[in-house]
């Protein structure tokens, strides 16, 4: 307990979540962001981010201690490890297949934590729009990579950009 007591509940939850995904052989160092980051770096292309790591972590700090505790309790009591594994694999499949309708359903489930949902998706998406619009005005190609949950829903990046008058075209490459 002494080892865990020094962590905020949200930090503990993120750490435990990474371990469960790694047990499914999903490694963040092999994620799409890292893949393209390495390609860009090897090609001498500039890289950047829509926000800093500190910005990302501050999202969780906005939650009260009680809200953070509820997240941990729910993580361990709402679904069995097998159910969580199945849900995670379904999410990955939906992302891989570009199934926006199902991703949207997954995002809607997150609304049971309204404050976290707003901070993690809605607010961040709205904060990113000016940067993305800046990229679109530049006379060069820019690749923007975001998590799948940031694409879906009324407040998703796709909808927010469409509302601003941008015409979006879906490009799909689904591997077998």
* pLDDT per position as a tens digit, 78-131: 777 788 788 888 888 888 888 888 888 888 877 878 888 888 899 999 999 999
How much is the pTM?
A: 0.77
Rg of the chain over CA atoms, in angstroms?
Answer: 18
Task: Report the percentage of the chain scoring pLDDT > 70.
Answer: 81
Supply the DSSP string of 143-175, one letter for each residue.
-----GGGTSSTTSHHHHHHHTT----------
Where residue 163 falls among pLDDT bands split at 50, 70, 90? Answer: very high
Q: Calculate mean pLDDT across residues 158-175.
A: 84
Answer yes or no: is pLDDT of 55 > 50.
yes
Where residue 16 falls among pLDDT bands split at 50, 70, 90? Answer: low
Which residue do the tokens 């609304």 mark? 111
Give residue limits of the domains in the chain.
27-62+80-163
Answer yes or no: is pLDDT of 50 > 90.
yes
């Amino acid at each position: 307990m002494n080892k865990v007591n020094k962590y905020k509940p949200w930090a503990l939850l993120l750490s435990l979540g990474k371990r469960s995904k790694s047990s499914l052989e999903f490694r963040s160092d092999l994620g799409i962001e890292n893949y393209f980051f390495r390609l860009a770096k090897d090609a001498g292309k500039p890289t950047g981010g829509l926000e800093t790591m500190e910005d990302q972590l501050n999202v969780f700090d906005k939650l009260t201690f009680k809200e953070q505790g509820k997240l941990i309790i729910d993580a361990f009591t709402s679904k069995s490890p097998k159910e969580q594994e199945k849900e995670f694999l379904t999410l990955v499949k939906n992302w891989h297949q570009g199934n926006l309708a199902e991703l949207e359903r997954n995002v809607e489930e997150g609304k049971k934590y309204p404050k976290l949902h707003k901070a993690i998706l809605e607010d961040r998406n709205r904060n990113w729009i000016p940067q993305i619009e800046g990229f679109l005005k530049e006379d060069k190609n820019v690749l923007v990579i975001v998590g799948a949950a940031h694409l879906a829903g009324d407040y998703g990046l796709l909808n927010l950009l469409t509302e601003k008058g941008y015409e979006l075209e879906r490009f799909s490459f689904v591997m077998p």
